[in-house]
Amino acid sequence: MNEVTPAPPPERPPTASIEAEILRRESAKAFRGAVWGVLKALLVVAAASVLLSMLWIPVLRVYGESMLPTLRDGEIVVAIKQSTFKRGDIVAFYYNNKVLLKRVIAVSGEWVDIDADGVVSVDGEVLDEPYAPEKGLGTCDIELPYQVPDERWFVMGDRRLTSVDSRLSAIGAVSGEQIIGKVALRLWPVADFGRVK
């Protein structure tokens, strides 16, 4: 009869090798956990940024020259959502699937008058408008003097001769539903970063 000799038991790896392998696997698991945690945090920050910019702090790009010299074509600004605006505020609002940026000249109930030279009066007082260096009546088809309806704002561009604004009956005084927010901060160009006045 043939005798079979049992194979010797496999040689056990040294304890140091086992401990090193356990440490390597734990380190790899910890690294994957850290990477996953960072990715989740970045996704949350990105989603919050998009939501914040859409709902409360819209970021807008300036197109055109109707707000010169205050805002120039290509600049990037931030608008702050709010429900009340005062004379001098620059607001962003929707008109005909476009976003326009204009300055509030008069609020609800006030009377606006503009003479042939473009001098603007509100409730009989001539406005001091250092932001509008070029005066002019521009394109105007509303009947002057004009009383701003309730819960609306009369807006005009700073470059009066070329601006399309509340002087046109097609736009008229802007309602709260149209307004995106008050333009508060210039982000770009970096050299001009700061508050918009």
What pLDDT is stored for residue 149 in this prediction? Answer: 95
Output the pTM of the full model: 0.70
What pLDDT is stored for residue 90 in this prediction? Answer: 94
Cα 59 from chain centre: 2
Question: Which amino acid would we find at residue 145?
Answer: P
Q: For residue 127, what are its two tokens?
A: 């406005």
Q: Residues 53, 102, 121, 182: which is the catalytic one?
A: 102
What pLDDT is stored for residue 170 in this prediction? Answer: 92
Q: May I ask the CATH class of domain 59-195?
A: mainly beta
Give dist(CA 196, CA 193) in Å, integer: 9
What pLDDT is stored for residue 8 in this prediction? Answer: 67
Q: What is the DSSP string of 155-173?
A: EE-SSTTT--STTSTTT-S
Active site residue 102: yes
What pLDDT is stored for residue 194 in this prediction? Answer: 76
What pLDDT is stored for residue 49 in this prediction? Answer: 57
What pLDDT is stored for residue 188 in this prediction? Answer: 87
Q: Residues 17, 40, 49, 66: which is the catalytic one?
A: 66
Helix (H) or strand (E) holding 39: helix 15-55
What pLDDT is stored for residue 51 in this prediction? Answer: 55
What pLDDT is stored for residue 109 in this prediction? Answer: 95
Do 180 and 93 form a contact (C-beta atoms < 8 A)?
A: yes
Q: Which residues of the chain have pLDDT under 70?
A: 1-2, 4-10, 12-14, 44-56
